[in-house]
Amino acid sequence: MSTAGALEPVDTSALLVPIHGELIALLRGLAPDQWLLPTTAGTWRVRDVAAHVLDGQLRRLSFHRDALPRPGGGSDDTYSDLVEFLNELNARWIRAAERLSPAVMIHLLETVGVQAPLFLAGLPPHEPAFWPVAWAGEAQSENWMDVGRDYTEYWHHQQQIRDAVGAPGLFDVRWLAPVIALGVRALPRALAAVARPDGTVVGIVVEGPAGGRWHLARQGRGWSFRAGEKEADVRALVRFNAEAAARLWFSGRGSQASASAAVWEGDPALCQAVLAARAVMV
């Protein structure tokens, strides 16, 4: 379990190829009817989630590695503009992917898609990232954070497929600890709309070896992680286990069952903001 003030970088580079391999093994074991099962990703079925993962890997190779000019999504766009743009981009690909059989999709993921994890794993961790991580409130990210964002994408989309088909989840510490350490970075943006006096402290406890304990303090117009806070000074405290936190922070809009697994006390608005945090673009 970690305790953080100013958060340290999270290195997921060595996990990208292995977690991609877990996806290939999972998809190869699916029966034809399992590809059509519904998932928690809105209206997407298993095949749609797999197609979305492939899309993300092809975009990474084309726009980042190969310098293909990026479509749309201008630098002056608001967060909601960016979400709308990405949703439309995703929807167009899912419609086109209806033409791909499961066998073709697996082949593309295995032969072309794996190049994206290999490319990401070789990026210098502290150089400016190709894409900033907007859900963390960053206008400019370093590579390790952009790579970590893709790692969490690989994890949570694979988990959606695993849930749909009844396969065991990727909840070992190896996989889950980076998901939590990255997901917690969505909290300052989630809390930003809750105005409180400077020095107000929020505590978050994610239980288990993959979790951690963090404090965020209000300063000026924003919230930042701070070490050394005393529990007696905490205005709001939210506590949940690592699996519930990961499922919540990496889910989409709306009420999620994972929120009911949280125990919270203190300022209701601050606690609800923590539970509303999402480490995905929604």
CB 281 within 8 A of CB 83: yes
The CATH classification of domain 2-170, taken from the options 1.10.3720.10, 3.40.50.2300, 1.10.1370.40, 1.20.120.450: 1.20.120.450
72: Cβ contacts below 8 Å, ≥ 6 apart: 85, 89
Residues whose CB is less than 8 angstroms from the CB of residue 255 and which lie 6 or more positions away in sequence, other chains included: none
CB 55 within 8 A of CB 90: yes
Cα angle 43-161-242, degrees, rounded to a multiple of 5 = 105
Tell me the C-alpha distance between 260 and 269, whole Å.
Answer: 16
- Same topology between domain 2-170 and domain 186-276: no
Closest C-alpha to 251, from 169, 184, 181, 156? 156
pLDDT for res 138: 95
Torsion of CA 18, 22, 23, 29, to 10 degrees: 150
pLDDT score of 6: 62
Fold of 186-276: Nonspecific Lipid-transfer Protein; Chain A (3.30.1050)
Rounded CA gap, 261 and 55, in Å? 33
How far is it, in rounded angstroms, from Cα 274 to Cα 28?
37
The two structure tokens encoding residue 130: 């190709």
Quote the pLDDT of residue 74: 57
Residue with the two structure tokens 């000026």: 220
Q: How many CB atoms lie within 10 A of CB 19?
A: 18
Residue 216, pLDDT score: 96
> Domain residues of the chain, as ranges?
2-170, 186-276
Q: Give the per-residue pLDDT at 91.
A: 95
Q: How many CB atoms lie within 10 A of CB 203?
A: 22
Those residues with Cβ within 8 angstroms of residue 203's Cβ, 6 or more apart along the chain or in another chain: 213, 214, 215, 229, 231, 234, 236, 237, 238
Nearest to 258 by CA among 268, 270, 243, 271: 243
pLDDT score of 253: 58
Asked if residue 51 lies in contact with residue 97, where contact means CB atoms within 8 angstroms, the answer is yes
Consecutive 10-residue runs of the chain (282 residues): their mean pLDDT?
Answer: 66 98 98 97 97 97 95 73 93 97 98 96 98 95 98 97 98 98 97 94 96 94 85 88 94 64 94 95 87
Tens digits of residue pLDDT in 31-78: 999 999 999 999 999 999 999 999 999 999 999 999 999 876 555 679
Residues with Cβ < 8 Å from 120, sequence gap 6 or more?
13, 16, 60, 147, 150
The CA-to-CA distance between both ends of the chain, in Å, stands at: 28
Number of C-beta neighbours around residue 184 at 10 A: 26
